[in-house]
Chains A and B, each alone.
Chain A
Amino acid sequence: MADSLTIAVAMSGGVDSSTVAAMLRADGYNLVGLTMQLWNQRRLAGREGMPEAVQGRCCSLDDVYDARRVAETIGIPYYVVNHEQRFEQEVVRPFVSEYLSGRTPIPCSLCNNHLKFDQLLITARQIGAERLATGHYARIKFDSAGGRWLLERAVDSSRDQTYFLFGLTQDQLSRTLFPLGGLLKSEVREIARRHGLALADKPDSQEICFVPGGDYKKFLDAYLAEHGESLPETAGELVSSSGEVLGMHSGIHNFTVGQRKGLGVATGSPLYVLQINGERRQVVVGGGEQLYSRSLHAKRVNWIALERPTSTLRLGVKIRHRHEPAGATVEATSADEAVVSFHQPQRAITPGQAAVFYDGDVVVGGGWIA
């Protein structure tokens, strides 16, 4: 056993990563359980709009307790590693500044790129684990013909998390294991039960882990107040697509492209947020039909299935987590930029979200919508 592969398991205290640990343990691997301490839930507790006693999901003591109990149950060493500083720098601050610039960020992808598959993978390798296993629903394969590691959608399409994993590099993919990629969630719970894990029926987490209660606006207020900054001026004009001022709004961070509720103007037909102009602090609104557009510009693009393509590709492109990939042509316009032209107009293309390119189940690459 001593010379078999050592695998670090990223354990969140949830059923998925716990099941990964139990499965790999049963397969006879040397395992080390690691939980990342990312955010101190007590930090903003008690500030206006923040809960007093935090029952949040991120790094809550209950989750660490659950992860530790699983490690004890299956008999593996387990450690909590503190990456709070890096999490704040790479995930929380960008999250806040994206909203303040009128974009709608995806903190989970930033966390994957900068914490889980970067810092945690480094820690894993430093302590002697050559692989990192997580409970993500996705599949990794090596394509020997192309000589590249491929990221593919999970068998359980309702659970597929590849949208959040488009930033993985070849090196990261080569060292990562997603043992749940071929399983249905129901099967995962069944395996957890079979391994005697007490948390087999623990509910799934849904919200952003560091935003208790899911109210990101209150989080922004509390976070900025903690830093001694009141919310910078983000209020401004609500304008029509032709530039006519329809009223005032409370702050661009309160809006997301496609949003209908809470605009504060009453007109005959429903109005939607079409665009947020961060510099001019303008929120552009219009009818639902105006939400559709045919193209987007992606920045900080990461190519997975191939090196940067030299010709235009016909691919499926997904523009938010709950969106079916839509047919498009994708053209790499520079080393890390691409232009996506959809065959059919797409509703509410939202700056700050990711555009992920699929060829069937294979993630070809992805980038951030500018």
Chain B
Amino acid sequence: MGFLRRIYFDNNATTPVLPEVLEAMRPYFNERFGNASSIHHHGQETRAAVERARESVAALLGCRASEVVFTSGGTEADNLAIFGLVKPGDHLITSTIEHHAVLNSGKRLQEMGCEVTYVPVDGQGLINPGDVRRALRPNTRLISIMMANNETGVLQPVEEIGRIAAEADVYFHTDAVQAAGKVPLDVKRIACDLLSISAHKMHAPQGIGALYVRKGTLLQPLLYGGSHERSRRAGTENVPSIVALGKAAEIALCGLSDGSVQQIAELRSRLQAGVLAVVNAAEVNGGAAPRVSNTANIYFDYIEGEALVIALDLKGLAVSTGAACSSGAIEPSHVLTAMGLRPERARASIRFSLGKQNTAEEVDLALALIPQAVARLRELSPATPAVS
């Protein structure tokens, strides 16, 4: 194929590493390569870098540096929070729209003899804190509710849930992987005991993340080995990636006040309005709920979202739908189904997620491609009603 201009609107899947983040981590591959546990100069050099990064992450989360545990990513952070606290006989409250890192941990807990309640969401994808309160039981150990949903961007009422957890004296974990860098994170306002973030959703590399663990919270580790991360996560630190996460956290914190989040919000509005103005039988999923500023999940009736993703990719626009299963095929989104969307409509939904590298010009190019692709799909779709 000839030259194809590629536009990337799938930033909830992953984001490009920023040049300044790449620069920050680069020396830690070869120049400053020490093991942060070593007592000599090389070790001291990398230890200092790890701890500086920890402070940067703590600043983003509004916590103490000692409360930040580096992990291999969001999934490990979620697993550490859940399996670190919940034991057979305990009760976990979570929701039907969590990321699989939490949902499948819940399933595993059930196999281990734990009780799990999955609270529902309304048509806009919002959890009712009252449902969380009503789900409390004497043996409830942990509430795990995500801050922002990865598919719709809908922000959950985590502060209210935090209050409920505090009143009931139950631990509260929030998966903030899709919220970090998009909305202010303040673990004290949220009143959470545990909070997960992932570096690659905020312009740092894949394979690194962190869990905030409130001081005094005793977690059973997932990994056994050395006394790294204050014995909460064994294994030699991934220093280059930790440094990158620290740098990305600094940039994300600035971004919350320097207008970059607002800029993404404007691009998102332009995209949404542009699509809905020309494509009929389309609507934003969760559009009436508070959302992070970068995500627009839109259904296009009568089509298969999967085919639209392929058609757009072949034209150079990268977007996504549902969650990919192991073969790479698309399964209907559990999030959209939980919101009460008919299976056809869930399958007809596409997620556009913008990032700070996207431009208004890219949005306009996308707006030239999307209606055309949708029209082609509908023309050939057996589900499209005949025009009389």
A2 — which chain B residues lie within 8 A by C-beta? 1-2
Contact A30 B1, beta carbon cutoff 8 Å: yes
Contact count band on A: 20 to 34
A30 — which chain B residues lie within 8 A by C-beta? 1
Residues B272-292 near A (CB distance < 8 A): none
Name the residue among A37, A79, A84, A126 with the largest chain B CB count within 10 angstroms. Answer: A126
Contact B327 A61, beta carbon cutoff 8 Å: yes
Contact B380 A37, beta carbon cutoff 8 Å: no
Contact A80 B376, beta carbon cutoff 8 Å: no
Name the residue among A79, A84, A122, A127 with the largest chain B CB count within 10 angstroms. Answer: A127
Contact B329 A82, beta carbon cutoff 8 Å: yes
Report the Cα distance A128→B194, complex, angstroms: 47
Nearest CB on A from B331, distance (A): 7
Report the Cα distance A35→B330, complex, angstroms: 12
B304 — which chain A residues lie within 8 A by C-beta? 123, 126
Contact A128 B381, beta carbon cutoff 8 Å: no
Report the Cα distance A81→B313, complex, angstroms: 14
B331 — which chain A residues lie within 8 A by C-beta? 82
Contact B381 A127, beta carbon cutoff 8 Å: no
A264 — which chain B residues lie within 8 A by C-beta? none
Nearest CB on B from A115, distance (A): 13
Contact B1 A80, beta carbon cutoff 8 Å: no
A64 — which chain B residues lie within 8 A by C-beta? 327-328
**Interface 1/0 per residue, A1-16 and B, CB below 8 Å:** 1100000000000000
Interchain CB contact (< 8 A) of B307 among A37, A68, A80, A81: A81
Contact A37 B327, beta carbon cutoff 8 Å: yes
**Interface 1/0 per residue, A59-71 and B, CB below 8 Å:** 1010010001000
Report the Cα distance A366→B283, complex, angstroms: 46
Contact A122 B381, beta carbon cutoff 8 Å: yes
Report the Cα distance A37→B325, complex, angstroms: 10
Nearest CB on A from B368, distance (A): 15
User: Is the C-beta of A125 less than 8 angstroms from some C-beta in chain B?
Assistant: yes
Report the Cα distance A33→B118, complex, angstroms: 39
Report the Cα distance A37→B332, complex, angstroms: 13
B119 — which chain A residues lie within 8 A by C-beta? none
Chain B: CB-nearest residue to A38:
B329
Contact A81 B326, beta carbon cutoff 8 Å: no
Chain A: CB-nearest residue to B2:
A2
Nearest CB on B from A34, distance (A): 8
Given the interface pairs A2-B2, A59-B327, A82-B329, the reply to whether A77 lies near B313 with Cβ below 8 Å is yes
Contact A126 B330, beta carbon cutoff 8 Å: no
User: Is the C-beta of A32 less than 8 angstroms from some C-beta in chain B?
Assistant: yes
Contact B327 A126, beta carbon cutoff 8 Å: no
Report the Cα distance A123→B306, complex, angstroms: 9
A59 — which chain B residues lie within 8 A by C-beta? 327
B2 — which chain A residues lie within 8 A by C-beta? 1-2
A84 — which chain B residues lie within 8 A by C-beta? 329
Name the residue among A2, A82, A123 with the largest chain B CB count within 10 angstroms. Answer: A82
User: Is the C-beta of B24 less than 8 angstroms from some C-beta in chain A?
Assistant: no
Nearest CB on B from A8, distance (A): 10
Nearest CB on B from A123, distance (A): 5
Contact B328 A79, beta carbon cutoff 8 Å: yes
Contact B329 A127, beta carbon cutoff 8 Å: no
Report the Cα distance A77→B382, complex, angstroms: 25
Chain B: CB-nearest residue to A129:
B314
User: Is the C-beta of B311 less than 8 angstroms from some C-beta in chain A?
Assistant: yes
Contact B380 A125, beta carbon cutoff 8 Å: yes
Contact A37 B314, beta carbon cutoff 8 Å: no
**Interface 1/0 per residue, A63-105 and B, CB below 8 Å:** 0100010000000010111101000000000000000000000
A125 — which chain B residues lie within 8 A by C-beta? 380
**Interface 1/0 per residue, A331-352 and B, CB below 8 Å:** 0000000000000000000000
Contact B307 A126, beta carbon cutoff 8 Å: yes
Report the Cα distance A131→B10, complex, angstroms: 29
User: Is the C-beta of B85 less than 8 angstroms from some C-beta in chain A?
Assistant: no
Interchain CB contact (< 8 A) of A79 among B1, B310, B325, B377: B310
Chain A: CB-nearest residue to B1:
A30
Contact A77 B314, beta carbon cutoff 8 Å: yes
B329 — which chain A residues lie within 8 A by C-beta? 37, 80-82, 84
Report the Cα distance A185→B310, complex, angstroms: 32
Interchain CB contact (< 8 A) of A128 among B303, B306, B311, B327: B311
Chain A: CB-nearest residue to B331:
A82
Contact B330 A127, beta carbon cutoff 8 Å: no
Chain B: CB-nearest residue to A63:
B327
Contact A127 B328, beta carbon cutoff 8 Å: no
Contact A126 B314, beta carbon cutoff 8 Å: no
A32 — which chain B residues lie within 8 A by C-beta? 310, 314
Contact B306 A82, beta carbon cutoff 8 Å: yes
**Interface 1/0 per residue, B3-18 and A, CB below 8 Å:** 0000000000000000
Report the Cα distance A80→B330, complex, angstroms: 8
Residues B1-48 near A (CB distance < 8 A): 1-2
B303 — which chain A residues lie within 8 A by C-beta? 126
B307 — which chain A residues lie within 8 A by C-beta? 81, 123, 126-127
Report the Cα distance A37→B324, complex, angstroms: 12
Name the residue among B1, B328, B377 with the largest chain A CB count within 10 angstroms. Answer: B328
Report the Cα distance A125→B314, complex, angstroms: 13
**Interface 1/0 per residue, B159-184 and A, CB below 8 Å:** 00000000000000000000000000
Report the Cα distance A30→B1, complex, angstroms: 7
Contact A81 B380, beta carbon cutoff 8 Å: no
A122 — which chain B residues lie within 8 A by C-beta? 380-382
A68 — which chain B residues lie within 8 A by C-beta? 328
Report the Cα distance A221→B291, complex, angstroms: 47
Report the Cα distance A84→B303, complex, angstroms: 16
B328 — which chain A residues lie within 8 A by C-beta? 64, 68, 79-80
Report the Cα distance A68→B326, complex, angstroms: 13
Report the Cα distance A37→B326, complex, angstroms: 11
Nearest CB on B from A52, distance (A): 17
**Interface 1/0 per residue, B298-325 and A, CB below 8 Å:** 0000011011001101100000000001
B1 — which chain A residues lie within 8 A by C-beta? 1-2, 30
Report the Cα distance A112→B291, complex, angstroms: 44
Residues B196-251 near A (CB distance < 8 A): none
Sample (13) of A-B pairs whose CB atoms are under 8 Å apart: A1-B1, A1-B2, A37-B327, A37-B329, A68-B328, A77-B313, A79-B310, A81-B310, A82-B325, A123-B310, A126-B377, A126-B380, A126-B381
5 pairs of A and B residues whose beta carbons are closest in the complex = A37-B329, A82-B329, A80-B328, A80-B329, A127-B311
Q: Which residues of A contact B (CB under 8 A)?
A: 1-2, 30, 32, 35, 37, 59, 61, 64, 68, 77, 79-82, 84, 122-123, 125-128
New A-B contacts (13) at CB < 8 Å, excluding given A37-B329, A127-B307: A1-B2, A61-B326, A68-B328, A81-B306, A81-B307, A82-B306, A82-B325, A84-B329, A122-B380, A122-B381, A126-B307, A126-B380, A128-B314
